[in-house]
Amino acid sequence: MVCPCDWPEPVVRVQSLSESGKPVIPERYIKPPTDRPSFISSPPDINIPIIDLAGLTNDREATLREISEACREWGFFQVINHGLSGELVDGVREIWREFFHESMEVKQKYANSPKTYEGYGSRLGLQKGAILDWSDYYFLHYLPSNLKDHNKWPATPSSLRETVEEYSKEIVRLGSVLLEVFSINLGLQKDYLQKSFGGEDVGACLRVNFYPKCPQPDLTLGLSSHSDPGGITFLLPDENVSGLQVRRGEQWITVKPARHAIIVNIGDQIQVLSNAIYKSVEHRVIVNPDKERVSLAYFFNPKSDLLIHPAPELVTPETPPLYPSMTFDEYRLFIRTRGPQGKSQVEALKSPR
Ligand SMILES: O=C(O)CCC(=O)C(=O)O
């Protein structure tokens, strides 16, 4: 079903399950053994690269190289000195934490439907009887501005809308900075990727994830393994509670966030545009028995009706185009029709040869 209007089953708030104090989680949240987090598989001394963006002004060549290597080797890195103040990043995260601690009656006013996903939600995907993730979320649009409807953003806490506006503006600015850096690093015209994303008409939407405490964290996941379908994701993690794991070969690396850092990851659309020089890497989230966790995933996307395809400069007889042309709208439909696969979906697009 492509555009359903309601969830296939009554929605259960994970926060309510957590607050019930029951020592066991419902069967719906228990993952098959192969998908469960294995805490031992993450080597403690490995982390994704940390890149100081002040270097783009002070030591440009070296910083471009660091970013290039991180995109090619990891698909994930954290940035510091990104231009967003510590006060803003802490403030926006805490304001959302406050929202999730509002009464259920307040939050339910924003309950979402699968038609647009906007609002307060507790599941992704529509497969009846699916095994669910241990998280609630809030999803909203910022760009294009005709989709932004402040009535769909929480009215409480009272400064939330203003803070989210300020944060969103900064993320879009950072998105343009990185599109230019990626273009240069890929040997393209410096405005190539920004133009491919629609110039000023990019898309930007936010999912705030709330992972309540979980009595049996070894049996479930806060968010199942996936790659991000869009362009670039800017993730503001919970500084005090780790949870994000990035796939590296057969291992899962637990990200250790640096203070006030923003985590950047390559999405499927950049994998296509770069003809797989940059990879959209799978990641997932584990949960915690003693601590809740809040994260903000900002999805910076191409304008949804533009054709996205490998940049012609990156296509050679040795490196033929790996993907067909497709708009982001078509790609999202392709993903929704296939349903969640627990892995990167863009590989399934690869042109047969
Ligand atoms: O919560 C996190 O650290 C990751 C969230 C994420 O991957 C997502 O929202 O797509």
Domain that holds residue 235: 34-343
Distance (Å, whole) CA 113 – CA 7:
7
Distance (Å, whole) CA 317 – CA 319:
6
Residues 6+ apart with CB under 8 A from 77: 48, 49, 50, 51, 67, 70, 71, 263, 264
Q: Is 296 close to ligand 1, i.e. is its CB under 6 Å away?
A: no
Q: Is 283 close to ligand 1, i.e. is its CB under 6 Å away?
A: yes
Q: Is 186 close to ligand 1, i.e. is its CB under 6 Å away?
A: no
Q: pLDDT by residue (tens digit) across 249-270?
A: 989 999 999 999 999 999 999 9
Q: Is 284 close to ligand 1, i.e. is its CB under 6 Å away?
A: no
pLDDT band at 338 (very low <50, low <70, confident <90, very high): low
CB 245 within 8 A of CB 309: no
Say if 98 falls within a structural domain.
yes
What pLDDT is recorded for position 255? 96
- Which strands sit side by side in the sheet containing 283-285, from one edge to the other? 223-226, 283-285, 244-248, 251-254
Report the share of the chain in percent with pLDDT over 90. 87
Q: Over 90: is that where the pLDDT of 292 sits?
A: yes
Say if 17 falls within a structural domain.
no
Say if 195 falls within a structural domain.
yes
Q: What is the CATH number of the domain that holds 297?
A: 2.60.120.330
Say if 125 falls within a structural domain.
yes
Q: Which atom of ligand 1 is nearest to the CA of 255?
A: 3
What pLDDT is recorded for position 41? 56
Q: pLDDT by residue (tens digit) across 132-142?
A: 999 999 999 99
Q: Is 322 close to ligand 1, i.e. is its CB under 6 Å away?
A: no
Say if 318 falls within a structural domain.
yes
CB 208 within 8 A of CB 121: no
Distance (Å, whole) CA 276 – CA 227:
14
| Count of domains observed in the chain | 1
pTM recorded for the entire structure:
0.96
Q: pLDDT by residue (tens digit) across 2-57?
A: 557 899 999 999 999 999 999 999 999 999 999 999 755 567 789 999 999 999 99
Say if 9 falls within a structural domain.
no
Q: Whose CA is nearest to atom 3 of ligand 1?
A: 244
Say if 248 falls within a structural domain.
yes
Say if 137 falls within a structural domain.
yes
Q: Whose CA is nearest to atom 8 of ligand 1?
A: 297
Q: Is 122 close to ligand 1, i.e. is its CB under 6 Å away?
A: no
Q: How far is the CA of 58 from the centre of ligand 1 (A)?
A: 31
